[in-house]
Structure formats: C-alpha cells, structure tokens
Amino acid sequence: MVLPNGLILVSGPSRGGKSRWAEHLLSSEDSVTYLATSAQRTNDPNWDERIRLHRERRPAHWQLREPGSNLAECIREEEGNQPLLIDALGGFTAIHLDCNDFQWKEQVNDLIHSLLSRKRPTVMVVEETGWGIVPATKIGGLFRDRQGWLAQCLEQHASESWLVIQGRAVNLSQLGILVP
C-alpha cells in the first residue's frame, strides 16, 4: 500500500484495532518515529499492560518519542522526511483539559500548523468518543466534546481517513462525503 504524504487519520472506538492498522500502514517504511502521547506508567495495571503490548508490537527499528504536553513542538523537531505515527490524539486532548477555550484553540492551531509542515506521511490515531456511555462528569463531557471537535478540524487537512471497528478498516475518504 502506497501512502499519500500528509496527514492520515485512523479513528474508531476502543479496542477496535486502530493502533494495529496505523502500524500496518507504516510497516513498509524503513524508519518511523512513533510519538506516544500516553506512554507514562500509571497505577492502573490494565493501562500499563496495554502500553507494554504496544511496545512489544512495534518494530525494533522504529524510534520512540514521548512528547508529553509538547506534541506540536515534538512534531516540528522531527526531520521532515521522517514518517510519523502519533498514537493517540486522546493523550493530547487529556493533557490540555485544564486550558480555557481560547488556550485550547491555540493548542489546536499550533498542532495543525505543525502537521501541515510535514513532507512525509503522518499517521494519527484518533479515539472516537460519544458512541457509547455518556460521561457522567463535567470533565468527561469536556474531553468528549474537544476530542470530537478536534477530529473534525484535523479531517479538513487529512489526505486520508480510516475508520477501524471490530478489527476492520474502512477508508472513509473513498466512501464518505465531508459534512459542510
């Protein structure tokens, strides 16, 4: 599969296979930088296990970066001809939940500008929210709303968009029509 240059979004619900598909899309590249937005160890054994499985699945020749709150800066620091895999957008959204609306939009604009400067494929995993349980907390609702809005903003700049659900990938760019 030949990937287009630019942003490629891979979205879907939890445990649908998004990360595996994103890794597959870049599997023929000689070198890939993997930006893990939520790679820190936690007090949650289930989350730590998921991170361990991701690490074991990645090819040994891929480089790992953990950008923390500086995702846009980390993207700009990477060599322009280096393919990137960003897994996942939810880590970026969660880190910036304490921002007010103006600060959030500035973070999003900075992220989009860093992505638009890329010359090679940048595959970004996006967790879909709002398909299931409605968040019972204000911060949960804020995460859901910001994540959905950000995914739509990124879609406007994407070369391709994939939906991965139940272990199947659907190319939304071929099937769907952008909502005005």
Q: Coil, helix or strand for 165?
A: strand
Which two three-digit tokens encode residue 145? 């709303």
- Residue 42 banded pLDDT, cuts 50, 70, 90: low
- The enclosing domain of 26 has a CATH number of 3.40.50.300
Q: Is 121 inside a domain boundary?
A: yes
Instruction: State the distance between the two ends of the chain, measured CA to CA, in whole angstroms.
Output: 30
CB-hemisphere CA count at 13 Å for 161? 21
**Beta-bridge partner residues of 86:** 35, 124
Is residue 179 one of the residues assigned to a domain? Answer: no
pLDDT per residue over 98-140, tens digit each?
999 999 999 999 999 999 999 899 999 999 987 777 788 999 9
Q: How far apart are CA 12 and CA 131, in angstroms?
A: 10
Residues annotated as catalytic are 54
pLDDT at position 131 = 79
**Residue 177 is assigned to a structural domain of this protein:** no
Span 2-27, pLDDT tens digits? 788 899 999 999 888 999 999 999 99
Please give the angle made by the CA atoms of 75, 76 and 77, to the nearest 5 degrees: 90
Encoded tokens for 103: 């600060």
Residue 134 in any domain: the answer is yes
pLDDT at residue 43 tops 80: no
Q: Is position 145 within any domain? A: yes
Is 175 among the domain residues?
no
Q: For residue 77, give both structure tokens.
A: 């620091």
Give the residue-averaged pLDDT of 19-44.
Answer: 86
Position 47 pLDDT exceeds 80: no
pLDDT at position 108, please? 97
Q: State the residue range of the domain holding 128.
A: 6-167
Q: Could you tell me which of 42, 47, 22 has the C-alpha nearest to residue 34? A: 22
Number of domains in the chain: 1
> What pLDDT is recorded for position 51?
74
- Does some domain include residue 150? yes
State percent of the chain over pLDDT 70.
97
- Supply the pLDDT for residue 129: 86
29 occurs within a structural domain = yes
Average pLDDT, the chain: 90
Q: Using 50, 70 and 90 to split pLDDT, how confident is the model at 68?
A: confident
